[in-house]
Amino acid sequence: MKFIVAIVIFSIIILFHELGHFLFAKRAGVRVNEFCLGLGPTLVGFQKGETFYSIKLLPFGGACVMEGEDEESDDVTGSFQNKTVWQRISIVFGGPLFNFIMAFAGALIIISCVGYDIPRIYSVTEGYPADEAGIEAGDIITSINGKTIHFYREVSNYITFHGVGEMDITYERDGEEYEVTLTPVYDEESGRYMMGFQSDRSRVKGNFFDTIKYSVFEVKYWIDTTFSSLKMLVLRQVSLNNMSGPVGIVKTIGDTYTDSIEDGYYYVFLNMVNITILLSANLGTMNLLPLPALDGGRLVFLIIEAIRGKRVSPEKEGWVHGVGILLLMTLMVFVMFNDIRNIIVG
């Protein structure tokens, strides 16, 4: 069951991404030859109009195969390449956009059901920097080094992603704002840097407008987390061995399902929705990176075309994306091997 749940979640996220490309392509009048879920040989499919809808053998991935997207086409009206640059930009951007929409929909469910973790301090540890700076229980953290804080989890994340130097903390008490500067200290017992205040992990439910607002903040939180994780990877603060691909993601979903089932199906549902938010926001963000073979890489060429008013040579663009696909597949093989190794060792 946990394997089925993982595959369903993974498939829905990918399907929604490809649906974004599909709908914007249809809107622009581009012929979609095939819309498929999965990779490899076709298991089942049917033709409807100009499009063949199919499910492939391997449940990872999917595609919206458009006429003239990567090859020459004789279809003057239905070819991707014959559309205006702004139509093509909308089609390429449609996939990541739908991932963010899906993440927002999931965030609405979570915030509506259990609320959001307000960054209110529950207790302060005596002798630690927060105590010495005059921070008290009940204070609400509003920013760290100029970064606005909406959730309590952003506080600990900031230390993880941005180091442990001096931090300018802005907090609110009885409607008044105060600013202090403190430096986290290393705690031997927990093995991490601490400022000396804790949350009670409680969540707050707001009104309709609060739910909408904090759902947007939830999506933003996961986008920021994705970028911060990539930054740590580039700066070699974490190893490539910490990366996970489809195999690792399926295992994580399965483990979360197993841990949640003891608390009941309601908590299984909430945790699965939460993972869907994370993965969907992550997929949307990663696809917008300006790297060859990704949607972001294609957008770079389209933006250049829009600026200069002239299309980049298809041969040059094709060569760049071809190299990108090769490098991407190499990375995927490494990540999959790493996932399998971690499962065996773990």
- In terms of phi and psi (left: phi > 0; alpha: psi -120 to 50; beta: otherwise), the region of 164 is alpha
Instruction: Report the C-alpha gap between 240 and 337 in whole angstroms.
Output: 12
CB atoms within 10 A of CB 91: 27
Q: Where are any strands of DSSP class E within the chain?
A: 32-48, 51-66, 123-124, 140-144, 147-148, 167-173, 176-182, 185-187, 192-194, 197-198
Q: Which residues, 6 or more positions from 8, have their beta carbon under 8 angstroms from its beta carbon?
A: none
C-alpha angle 141-146-149 in degrees, rounded to nearest 5: 35
Tell me which residue has tokens 């949307």.
Answer: 284
Backbone phi and psi for residue 205, each to the nearest 5 degrees, phi listed first: -100, 125
DSSP for residue 313: P
Amino acid at 28: A
Instruction: Report the C-alpha gap between 269 and 260 in whole angstroms.
Output: 9
- Which residue blocks in 186-264 are alpha helix, DSSP H? 208-234, 246-261
Instruction: Report the C-alpha gap between 290 and 310 in whole angstroms.
Output: 20
- Tokens standing for 237? 């603060």
CB atoms within 10 A of CB 180: 15
Q: Which residues, 6 or more positions from 162, have their beta carbon under 8 angstroms from its beta carbon?
A: 145, 228
Closest CA to 105 of 10, 211, 252: 211
Residues identified as active-site? 18
- Tokens standing for 333? 């093989």
Strands 185-187 and 176-182, by their bridges, are: unpaired
CA dihedral sign of residues 101, 106, 109, 111: negative
